[in-house]
């Protein structure tokens, strides 16, 4: 933890690195690799949904034994949606997003030389890597990967007789997730300890940038809820391999009665969603934190309602742990519980609304610098509102029974947590790329990337609400078995075209990312003229972040465009420029904001 | 042939990478005034696209949506849905406008100075309290309706039907004259006793097993759901009803059919939707579709999950009485 450099070999610098900046890059690149797999999968099953009986060379090439003459098999369709969901939720949006930016920003923004434990941090990454490898290997087992949906409800996930993917594929899925949970717990504990203990002088909790609040609270939710998923997975492993009956009871399959007695799948659903719902916020809150920071910086305005933003993060975090039952209104649990969960669920709309309104107010009368990162943040606010609002429909148990598990749900959660969180991740990458690689990304490609992506995101998910309202269930291999859905075929084609274009457009981003690492313009120290501490470190990475002493903090992170006369918007900037680093001491007579 | 295809793709990607690096100057990295002006304008173009799409879908996709609820309980569902939808629709239209209009209106330039505006307790109070009040209404109505749907205790003379699921088919069992279902368990599955009914139970004797549901209009139907293998979900979209079938337990749901299948076929909404469907079907040379109520599986259950359905026919009471009197009882079927 001192400034002197130890000699680093290639291995300690690039592979088993304990430096948080390198670890964050490792998380990012691994997450991106997994993301490419998941996007490709979604493109394959979208082909199937749009043109159910058509033969595709690409499907023949990718799916090998799991297709017949270029048409994928029903089991493989289910496997694709299962693994797409798993990878996106856990590997891309939990590890790829939170892992990348928590690691990069926590020490830099609170003024610490590194994470509390660099060693545990390294372990956290390598466990994540191991779990990614396991998940990828599971794609190649003979009977196919896990295919019981990303929610892996037993008995389907417990009985290989019920679906081939519940054999070796499911075992590997469970092993991979167990390792993943260990990784994310170690990471989260590290983040919490670091934020609590290693803040630099003057960095009070009330002066933390909103990114820090978001990552900190996210880590707490993770620590509270991930262990429950681990126990759910362990009990499932017991049921599968050791003949226990935690989740299984009274089953007759393949002509015989199984020995299981007294278990209940509903128990699994409770345990799963006790993580599963907070997981939504584990995915979303970091994206919202990143957005708060970027919108404020690029609006050249303080974030509106800093305290309200912190309070709503806390309120969302608290409520997120007591709403899991809204995934289970029709699971057969006591209807009274349904009432309770409807109540708590709809309450979440309040802090969410506060956040959305505060973002819009931050834009109001700003001096918006429309960098790609800013556009993605604005895009996030847009999709967060669109997706969040339909939550009012689904969170209401009386309405949920009519559209539960239809495409309405798919549209809702993709917009509110999928697209929004991905937008937050892209925003973060464009914004902190100079901090990660010392170079800048190309803005023209960034603009192309953004506009194509947002048009396609809406093109995919807005019409999807309506096919949901037509009663079309999700996870159907094909809709041709029901004449009542025949009139949805054209819409499915349109959705697929948007999905394909949107998916392929991500190549623009990949090109920009990888070319910029080597050929991008060299970054200046503070390219976005931002207030936070990470922009006081040198562009070239050094172990320990700051040469010499860690700077002291004197103010909050949002003194943008502070004027001489607070009541006159046109008066001169108090500090001669429209941003004030957190390390700048208060002027004589200056009111802290 | 396939190899050629891959080589082609590889070359195409390589060329586009090369072109991108050549054409684009990787020195343009931070938005300047010209960029802000341009992107601000694009925000407006995008807003126009978004509104056009939202409105187009709202108007022209009305016809594909489910018709009016076909159950008495579903009426309130529809009303609550409409209230919620109007509400979120209005908020959506206002918010999206503000987001993209502000992006355009306040696009940055060198002369502009941002307003230093960090806090307003009044504003924050407004947008905490307003949603809270609106939510009280929605939650109140929602909970009332939820109790309405889920409470089966006060139904007068309901018809008790067991819906039984397995990979990948539905069966059903009517309680018969004694209005009580006999016990069932997977251990009793044998031969044609596919639902595992305990025939030593005296209530089982007059039970009636069928593969299609017939329901009388205007009578409360009390459904009990069982599954013999994995989770299934009995989804009856037209009645706004859905309940999981869980191995090892019995789940329940109830509703009162409001329109017979025949009446439903005459409904303008259904007529319009059927016309749309038949346009597609006749273009493909398939036989024409006629509206029927359906029960669909809506919980992932395996390979043929996408084709696990049962027809439901709603008829007048006397027609129902005639139909049910013709069905053989379980005892007589099993005795053969």
Q: What is the CATH number of domain A19-263?
A: 1.20.210.10
- List the domain range (segments joined by +) for residue B103: 34-108+122-151
User: Are A342 and B96 within 8 A, CB to CB?
Assistant: no
Q: Find chain B residues with C-beta within 8 A of A61's C-beta.
A: 2, 5-6
Q: Find chain B residues with C-beta within 8 A of A411's C-beta.
A: none
Of the candidates A84, A79, A183, which has an alpha carbon nearest to the alpha carbon of residue A125?
A183
B129 and B179 in one domain? no
User: Are B277 and A364 within 8 A, CB to CB?
Assistant: no
Number of domains in chain B: 2
pLDDT < 70 positions in chain B: 1-2, 5, 21-26
Nearest to A402 among B2, B5, B237 (CB): B237
pLDDT < 50 positions in chain A: 1-4
User: Are A368 and B108 within 8 A, CB to CB?
Assistant: yes
Q: Find chain A residues with C-beta within 8 A of B100's C-beta.
A: 378, 382
Give A156 to chain B, closest Cα distance, Å.
5
B200 and B78 in one domain? no
Residue-level pLDDT at B289: 93
User: Are A73 and B303 within 8 A, CB to CB?
Assistant: yes
Q: What is the pLDDT of residues A513-566, one digit of tens each?
A: 999 999 888 999 999 999 999 999 999 988 899 998 999 999 999 999 999 988
User: Are A440 and B305 within 8 A, CB to CB?
Assistant: no
User: Are A360 and B99 within 8 A, CB to CB?
Assistant: yes
Q: What is the pLDDT of residues B277-312, one digit of tens each?
A: 999 999 989 899 999 999 999 999 999 999 999 999
User: Are B300 and A350 within 8 A, CB to CB?
Assistant: no
Q: Find chain B residues with C-beta within 8 A of A555's C-beta.
A: none
User: Are A365 and B149 within 8 A, CB to CB?
Assistant: no
B143 and B164 in one domain? no
Q: Find chain A residues with C-beta within 8 A of B116's C-beta.
A: 301-302, 560-563, 566, 569
Strands B309-315 and B213-216: parallel
The helix (H) or strand (E) run that includes residue A313 is helix A306-320
B192 and B93 in one domain? no
B86 and B188 in one domain? no
Q: Find chain A residues with C-beta within 8 A of B88's C-beta.
A: 389-390, 392-393
Query: Measured in whole angstroms, how far is the alpha carbon of residue A466 from the centre of its chain?
Result: 25
* Residue B121 CB neighbour total at 10 angstroms: 10
Residue-level pLDDT at B12: 80
B274 and B129 in one domain? no
B174 and B129 in one domain? no
B307 and B169 in one domain? yes
Could you give the CA distance from residue A569 to residue B53 in angstroms, rounded to a whole number? 38
User: Are B113 and A561 within 8 A, CB to CB?
Assistant: yes
User: What is the chain B residue with the closest CA to A515?
Assistant: B21
Name, in order, each residue with C-beta under 8 angstroms of A206's C-beta and a sequence gap of 6 or more.
A556
Could you give the CA distance from residue B72 to residue B314 in angstroms, rounded to a whole number? 13
B277 and B187 in one domain? yes
User: Are B143 and A342 within 8 A, CB to CB?
Assistant: yes
Under a CB-based contact definition with an 8 Å cutoff, are residues A248 and A260 in contact?
yes
SS3 of A88-134: the string is HHHHHHHHHHHHHHHHHHHHHHHCCCCCCCHHHHHHHHHHHHHHHHH
Q: Any idea where the domains of chain A sit in the sequence?
A: 19-263, 525-593
Nearest to B92 among A262, A386, A507 (CB): A386
Cα atoms found within 13 Å of the Cα of residue A268, Cβ hemisphere only: 26
User: What is the chain B residue with the closest CA to A572?
Assistant: B113
Could you give the CA distance from residue A574 to residue A405 in angstroms, rounded to a whole number? 55
Assign residue B209 the CATH number of its domain: 2.60.40.420
Under a CB-based contact definition with an 8 Å cutoff, are residues A293 and A106 in contact?
no
Q: Find chain A residues with C-beta within 8 A of B117's C-beta.
A: 301-302, 304, 361, 364-365
Nearest to B64 among A488, A521, A560 (CB): A488
B181 and B134 in one domain? no
B133 and B194 in one domain? no
The helix (H) or strand (E) run that includes residue A72 is strand A71-72
Q: Find chain B residues with C-beta within 8 A of A346's C-beta.
A: 135, 138-139, 142
Could you give the CA distance from residue A408 to residue A466 in angstroms, rounded to a whole number? 7
The question of ipTM being above 0.85 is answered as: yes
Beta bridge partners of B190: B193
B241 and B168 in one domain? yes
Beta bridge partners of B234: B243, B297
Residue-level pLDDT at A3: 45
User: Are B30 and A527 within 8 A, CB to CB?
Assistant: yes
């Amino acid at each position: 933890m001192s400034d002197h450099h130890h000699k680093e070999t290639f291995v300690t610098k690039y592979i088993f690195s304990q430096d948080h900046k390198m670890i964050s890059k490792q998380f990012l690149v691994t997450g991106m690799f997994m993301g490419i797999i998941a996007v490709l999968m979604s493109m394959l099953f979208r082909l199937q949904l749009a043109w159910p009986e058509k033969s595709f060379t690409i499907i023949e090439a990718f799916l090998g034994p799991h297709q017949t003459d270029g048409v994928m098999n029903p089991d493989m369709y289910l496997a694709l949606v299962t693994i797409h969901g798993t990878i996106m939720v856990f590997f891309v949006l939990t590890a790829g997003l939170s892992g990348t930016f928590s690691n990069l920003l926590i020490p830099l923004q609170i003024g610490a030389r590194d994470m509390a434990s660099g060693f545990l941090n390294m372990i956290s990454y390598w466990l994540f890597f191991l779990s990614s490898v396991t998940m990828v290997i599971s794609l190649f087992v003979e009977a196919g990967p896990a295919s019981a949906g990303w929610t892996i409800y037993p008995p389907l996930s417990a009985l290989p007789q019920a679906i081939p993917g519940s054999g070796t594929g499911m075992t590997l899925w469970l092993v991979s997730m167990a390792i993943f949970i260990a990784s994310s717990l170690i990471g989260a504990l590290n983040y919490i300890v670091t934020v609590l203990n290693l803040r630099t002088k003057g960095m009070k909790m009330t002066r933390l940038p909103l990114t820090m609040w978001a990552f900190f609270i996210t880590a707490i939710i993770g620590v509270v809820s991930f262990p429950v998923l681990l126990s759910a997975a362990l009990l499932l492993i017991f049921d599968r391999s050791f003949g226990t009956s935690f989740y299984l009871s009274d089953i007759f399959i393949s002509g015989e009665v199984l020995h299981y007695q007294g278990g209940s799948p509903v128990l699994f659903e409770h345990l799963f969603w006790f993580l599963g719902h907070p997981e939504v916020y584990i995915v979303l809150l970091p994206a919202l934190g990143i957005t708060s920071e970027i919108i404020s910086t690029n609006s050249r305005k303080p974030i509106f309602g800093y305290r309200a933003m912190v309070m709503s993060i806390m309120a969302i975090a608290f409520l997120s742990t007591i709403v899991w039952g809204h995934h289970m209104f029709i699971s057969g649990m006591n209807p009274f519980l349904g009432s309770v969960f409807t109540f708590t669920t709809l309450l979440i709309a309040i802090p969410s609304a506060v956040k959305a309104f505060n973002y819009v107010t931050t834009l109001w009368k700003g001096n918006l610098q429309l960098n790609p990162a800013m556009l993605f943040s604005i895009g996030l606010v847009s999709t967060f509102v669109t997706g969040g609002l339909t939550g009012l429909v689904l969170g209401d148990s009386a309405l949920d029974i009519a559209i539960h598990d239809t495409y309405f749900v798919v549209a809702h959660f993709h917009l509110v947590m999928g697209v929004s969180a991905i937008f937050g991740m892209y925003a973060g990458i464009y914004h902190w790329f100079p901090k990660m690689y010392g170079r800048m990304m190309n803005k023209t490609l960034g603009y192309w990337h953004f506009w194509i992506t947002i048009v396609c995101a809406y093109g995919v998910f807005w019409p999807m609400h309506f096919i949901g309202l037509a009663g079309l269930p999700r996870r159907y291999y094909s809709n041709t078995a029901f004449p009542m859905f025949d009139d949805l075929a054209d819409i499915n084609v349109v959705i697929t075209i948007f999905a394909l274009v949107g998916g392929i457009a991500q190549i623009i981003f990949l090109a920009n990312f990888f070319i910029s690492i080597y050929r991008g313009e060299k970054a200046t120290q503070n390219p976005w003229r931002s207030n936070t501490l990470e922009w006081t470190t040198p562009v070239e990475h050094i172990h320990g972040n700051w040469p010499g002493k860690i700077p002291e903090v004197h103010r909050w992170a949002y003194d943008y465009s502070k004027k001489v006369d607070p009541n006159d918007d046109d008066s001169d900037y108090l500090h001669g420029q429209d941003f004030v680093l957190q390390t700048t001491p208060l002027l004589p007579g200056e009111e802290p904001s | 042939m396939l190899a050629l295809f891959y080589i082609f793709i590889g070359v195409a990607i390589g060329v586009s990478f090369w072109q991108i690096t050549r054409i684009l100057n990787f020195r343009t990295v931070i938005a300047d005034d010209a960029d802000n002006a341009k992107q601000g304008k694009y925000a407006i173009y995008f807003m126009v696209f978004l509104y056009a799409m939202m409105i187009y879908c709202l108007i022209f996709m009305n016809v594909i949506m489910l018709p009016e609820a076909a159950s008495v309980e579903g009426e309130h569902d529809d009303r609550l849905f409409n209230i919620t939808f109007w509400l979120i629709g209005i908020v959506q239209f206002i918010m999206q406008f503000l987001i993209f209009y502000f992006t355009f209106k306040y696009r940055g330039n060198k002369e502009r100075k941002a307003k230093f505006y960090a806090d307003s307790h009044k504003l924050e109070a407004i947008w905490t309290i307003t949603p809270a009040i609106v939510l009280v209404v929605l939650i109140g109505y929602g909970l009332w309706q939820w109790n309405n749907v889920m409470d089966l205790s006060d139904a007068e003379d309901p018809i008790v039907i067991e819906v039984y699921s397995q990979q990948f088919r539905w069966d059903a069992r009517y309680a018969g004259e004694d209005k009580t279902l006999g016990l069932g368990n997977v251990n009793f599955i044998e031969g044609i006793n596919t639902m595992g009914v305990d025939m030593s139970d005296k209530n089982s004797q007059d039970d009636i097993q069928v593969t299609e549901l017939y329901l009388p209009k205007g009578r409360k139907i009390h459904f009990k759901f069982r599954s013999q293998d994995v989770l299934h979900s009995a989804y009856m979209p037209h009645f706004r009803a859905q309940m999981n079938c869980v191995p090892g337990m019995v789940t329940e749901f109830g509703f009162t059919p409001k329109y017979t299948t025949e009446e439903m076929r005459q409904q303008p909404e259904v007529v319009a939707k059927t016309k749309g469907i038949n346009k597609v079907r006749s273009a493909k040379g398939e036989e024409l579709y006629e509206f029927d109520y359906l029960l669909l599986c809506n919980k992932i259950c395996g390979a043929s999950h996408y084709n696990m359905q049962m027809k439901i026919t709603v008829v007048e009471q006397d027609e129902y009485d005639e139909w049910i009197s013709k069905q053989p009882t379980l005892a007589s079927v099993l005795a053969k």
